[in-house]
Structure 1
C-alpha cells in the first residue's frame, strides 16, 4: 500500500483571508430562504473590512436583508504551484442607502456580470472569517476500492 504524505492544511489569519478575497472578484453567497438554504454567485469588492455586491429586486435581495446571517465563500487555485485556498466569511448583510455611502461604493468599480437593473448595493459586515490553503492532491491518490466496484458495474 502506498503511504503518501497527507498534504498539510494551512489555516489562514484574517489578514491573509482579506488579501485572498481581494485577489478574486467572484464568490458564492449562502442564505437561508424560508425553509431551505440557497446559494447565489456574486461578484464583489472588498471595502474597508467588508464585502460589497450589487443586486436587483428578487429572492437574493429580500433574503439577505432579513434577520438571518449570511455566508460568502470564495476560493482560488494557483495551477503552477498546485496550491488552492478557500475563505468563508460569515456575517450580517445590510443595504447601503446613504447617498455618500452609495457614491463611495460606486468608486469601487463594481460592475455586475449579468445584464439588468442591479441598483441595490449590499454590504456584508463579517462576524467571523476562516480560511485555509492546501496543496491539491494528485488525482491518483483519490482512488478507493469503491472506484473499482463502480467501474466494474459499468462494464
Structure 2
C-alpha cells in the first residue's frame, strides 16, 4: 500500500469555510507583540460580521493591543479522524462606542473566569487561511 500524499491528507480551505469553522468553536489563540517579542494568549471568542470578538480585562494583552494593533489569531479542532486549523492576520481594536459595545454584548463572548473583563476587542481580518487534515491511523 502506498503512502498518502499531501494532497490526500491536507485540504486548503476557502475564506467562507474558514469563517464557518471559526463559528463552530469558542477558543482561539491571540498572538501579539509584547516587549518586542511575540506573545500568545488563549481567548474565548465569538464571530460576528466576519470579525472575531472577545472580552479582556486590564493587563498586558490589552496594553499591547493599544500599542501594536497588528495581530495573528488561530483556532482549531482536532477530532478522531480529521482536524482543521484557521489562521487570521489583521488589526485588533478596543471597542469604545456604546453601540459597538452593545452589539458585541449581544453576540455573547463570555469570560472563562469570574474576573472583571469590561473591554471588548474586535479583530478585523486582512488575511484568513485554513487547512483541513485527514488524520492517519497508527
Q: TM-score range by the shorter chain?
A: over 0.9
Separation in 2, partners of 1:122, 1:68: 11
**Contact 2:32–2:68 (CA under 8 A) maintained in structure 1:** no
- How far has the Cα of 1:87 moved from its partner? 0.1
Separation in 2, partners of 1:65, 1:18: 25
Q: Does 1:17 align with 2:44?
A: no
- TM-score when normalising by structure 2: 0.93
Separation in 2, partners of 1:110, 1:12: 25
- TM-score when normalising by structure 1: 0.83
**Aligned equivalent of 1:94:** 93
RMSD of Structure 2 on Structure 1 (CA):
1.3
Q: Does 1:85 align with 2:84?
A: yes
Query: 1:55-134, aligned counterparts within 5 Å?
Result: 55-79=56-80, 82-134=81-133
- Unaligned runs of 5+ residues in structure 2 are none
- Structure of greater Rg: 1
Corresponding pairs, count = 136
Separation in 2, partners of 1:31, 1:3: 42
- Unaligned runs of 5+ residues in structure 1 are 140-155
User: Cα deviations across residues 72-108 of structure 1 (Å, max 9, x unaligned)?
Assistant: 10001332xx010000011000011110111111101
